[in-house]
Amino acid sequence: MKKVAGIIAALLAATSVRAQEAITFEDLQGVSVEASSVRDQTVRGKRGTFPVQVRTSVTIKLGPSDNIHHTRQQSISGPRGKRDAPPQPADFTLGVRKQVPSAGQGTAQYTFSDSTLILVRTFKNGAFISTVKFVRDKDTLKCTFDESFAREGGKGEIELESPFGEPAKVLSWKEVSSTCRVTGWPLATR
């Protein structure tokens, strides 16, 4: 009986250690992430200052190698009703900054550190940061998704072009909710 209890304890300890292991980008080859967020924002545009709610859906496919393909889609609800922006697909190489034409130009770069995939995207003024944090939970892989703006030098307005081609300034923002789901995690090989 003691021997069985010892084996069970060892298995539980091994499972616990495995659950706490850092996830590497190599571990994520072939994985897809489906994430969404809802943000309340106050924006200023050519029609004045008003509140909007931004719903974002993101699909991120990782691999092969350092390749990342993502598609971002947004819908914005405000004084002009609900408007759906066209999908914005993009291909990236991990650690390589590239020019992006959306939102009025800027650069974007994916990095990976501490089990977290990080996208930093610059605008005319300010930036946007999107993170996907991966956590091993027994034999599954879970994730959390977070998005936020960053002010240039901690001050000023975020200046960008809306998904509808209109100049806009983001004055304030607050994440209301987010979801994140991993698919393609091959349990048998991990």
The residues spanned by each domain of the chain are 2-184
Query: Which pLDDT belongs to residue 26?
Result: 93
The series of mean pLDDT values per 10 residues for the chain, 190 residues long, is 40 43 91 97 91 96 96 91 92 94 80 96 92 90 94 84 83 95 68
* Per-residue model confidence (pLDDT) at position 103: 63
pLDDT digits (tens, 9 = 90+) for 3-52: 433 433 443 444 344 445 789 999 999 999 999 999 999 999 888 999 99
pLDDT value for 13: 43
Left (φ > 0), alpha (ψ -120 to 50) or beta: where does 65 sit? left
Contact 108, 119 (CB under 8 A): yes
The model's pTM: 0.83
What ranges in the chain are assigned the alpha helix state H?
Answer: 2-20
